[in-house]
Amino acid sequence: MSKSSRVQGGGRAGRAKLDELRQAQQAKERRSRIILITSVAAVILLIAGIVGVTIWRDVANRPSLDAVQTFEVTREHTAAPVTYAQSPPVGGDHYPTWLNCGVYTSPVPDQLAVHSLEHGAVWVTYRPDLPADQVQALEETLPDTYIVLSPRDGLPSPVVASAWGVQLQLTGATDPRLPEFVKTYRQGQQTPEPGGACTGGSDGTTPPPSPAPTATPTS
């Protein structure tokens, strides 16, 4: 065999070996990519499963609002007295002035409070004989804004939560449905004027507006 033939044969063998090494490296890289993709997919599936279970548990353990009553109500401004179909009312015609949101130790005028409901407040009322520790619990657990808390005679249950057009009778201050009601209906989708003022109105002692004078017919 000539020298040139030996050189050519060695060159072919070298290229074949190089190709073999390259193919082996490519196969190794493919296996690494597959392992990485599989691992990432497994982690994503695991996270999705954990999130799904967490959401399911949250929904399953969430207090039911099935007992919430819904009402159709009007919403005109008036200075005339209004008789409401619900006690406490959940809407209807009301004073042009709203009630400042906050904690009250005495009953508040319905026609002022209804205007606050129109702005997205939740009105939590309780029987005057509700134990003091429960009243304190209400004060401490309710949000600071868009909430009216006041006592009220003649309630159908120890505590009643009202928002515009909706109402829920509660067993007491620790009823787990109260936070859920507040979360759902305070500034909720049923609110006619969400974000309306809940300060700068009446403190509950402001005299109601006088009816507009009527014109006296002239003869």
* pLDDT confidence bin for 61, thresholds 50/70/90: low
Average of per-residue pLDDT values in the chain: 86
Please check the confidence at residue 43 and state whether its pLDDT lies above 90.
no
Q: Give the sign of the dihedral formed by CA 72, CA 78, CA 84, CA 89.
A: positive
Q: Where are the domains of the chain?
A: 6-61, 69-185
* pLDDT confidence bin for 45, thresholds 50/70/90: confident
Determine the Cα–Cα distance for residues 42 and 57; give it in Å rounded to an integer: 22
Please check the confidence at residue 201 and state whether its pLDDT lies above 80.
yes
Determine the Cα–Cα distance for residues 185 and 125; give it in Å rounded to an integer: 15
Architecture of domain 69-185: 3-Layer(aba) Sandwich (3.40)
pTM passes above 0.75: no
Determine the Cα–Cα distance for residues 185 and 90; give it in Å rounded to an integer: 12
Residue 20: per-residue pLDDT = 75
Q: Which long-range contacts (CB under 8 A, 24 or more apart) does 208-213 make?
A: 208/79, 208/95, 208/109, 208/111, 208/112, 209/79, 209/95, 209/96, 209/97, 210/79, 211/79, 211/80, 212/79
Tell the residue number behind the tokens 């819904």, with chain if given: 70
| Residue range 105-142, pLDDT digits in tens | 999 999 999 999 999 999 999 999 999 999 999 999 99
Q: How many CB atoms lie within 10 A of CB 121?
A: 29
User: What is the β-pairing status of strands 102-103 and 122-126?
Assistant: unpaired
Please check the confidence at residue 219 and state whether its pLDDT lies above 50.
no
CA distance between the termini of the chain: 141
